[in-house]
Amino acid sequence: MSKLAVVTDFDGTLMQQDVGDLLMKTAEVEKEPAVVEAYRQFDAGQVGSMEVARTSYSFLADRKSLVDDVIRQINPREGAADFLDFCRKHGIPVTILSDGMEYYIREIIRKFDYQVEQIISNPIYYTEDGGYRLDFQNENEACKWCGCCKADVVRKLKQEGYHVLYIGDGTSDYYGSGFADWIFARARLAGYLEEAGEAYFPFETFHDVLKVIEPDLDKFLSGEASGKRMVPNTFCLFEE
């Protein structure tokens, strides 16, 4: 059995666009005074993504058709399908791990017919009876900072004995990648890791990711591949 697991972020990583950002822009939610204030506090480090999502996603409760319009505009990042096929062929479980909205992720994954082991994201979706559920994935009792506690998910995979390869681009990935073995990073995540003096593989397409993994697959499977994360994660809190 493969002891390598892949964890990939969704917005701006598996997908070319950040669906959540595009939704908020299209619905003009980002102009709402409560949302402006939530983002101000987030940027100042006073609140985490849970607070921002609670405020901003409340404005999408009756806007399903707008969300569906945005979903139609979304494209996968180049090489995404090839990468997922590669993982399936080699029995490597893939987790899509997102601090976004479950509704759009499941719709987009279905549209492109992607097969993955699991999708973990915030349970925010439109219900059969025309209602709206706005809730969070965070199962970490010690810390309710992020909507989706990515670090907790990666830690659990590690506890199950997996070597974890993490792929991401944004702020929520600072925390999730902090417990992985190897990190593939672009955009803000790459900048953050660079500043922290952390080891990572830069990427722009999933063909870039495959170029690193394919020739050394045996070493990634056994946990011996070079380029491992080095700096300990001192931000995330957990109950012991």
DSSP label at residue 76: B
Asked if residue 41 lies in contact with residue 47, where contact means CB atoms within 8 angstroms, the answer is yes
The stretch near Mg ion (CB under 5 A) out of 6-14, 41-49, 111-119, 194-202 is 6-14
Pick 96 or 157: Cβ nearer Mg ion: 96
Asked if residue 122 lies in contact with residue 53, where contact means CB atoms within 8 angstroms, the answer is yes
* Residues across the chain: 240
Pick from 48, 76, 79, 170: which binds Mg ion (CB under 5 A)? 170
Q: Smallest distance, Å, CB 240 to Mg ion?
A: 29
Angle at Cα 239 formed by Cα 11 and Cα 134, nearest 5°? 40
Q: Determine which helix (DSSP H) or strand (DSSP E) holds 89, and give its type and residue range.
A: helix 80-89
CA-closest candidate to residue 42, choices 32, 52, 33, 34:
52
From CA 103, how far away is CA 124, in angstroms rounded?
A: 6
The stretch near Mg ion (CB under 5 A) out of 22-30, 157-165, 166-174, 206-214 is 166-174
Does residue number 99 form part of the binding site for Mg ion (CB under 5 A)? no
Does residue number 169 form part of the binding site for Mg ion (CB under 5 A)? yes
Pick from 5, 7, 12, 186: which binds Mg ion (CB under 5 A)? 12
The stretch near Mg ion (CB under 5 A) out of 56-64, 168-176, 178-186, 218-226 is 168-176
From CA 104, how far away is CA 13, in angstroms rounded?
A: 15
Does residue number 100 form part of the binding site for Mg ion (CB under 5 A)? no
Pick 48 or 170: Cβ nearer Mg ion: 170
Pick 176 or 221: Cβ nearer Mg ion: 176
Pick 140 or 177: Cβ nearer Mg ion: 177
Does residue number 11 form part of the binding site for Mg ion (CB under 5 A)? yes
Which positions ≥6 away from 22 have C-beta within 8 Å? 70, 73, 74
Pick 39 or 132: Cβ nearer Mg ion: 39
- Residues contributing to the site for Mg ion (CB under 5 A): 9, 11-12, 169-170
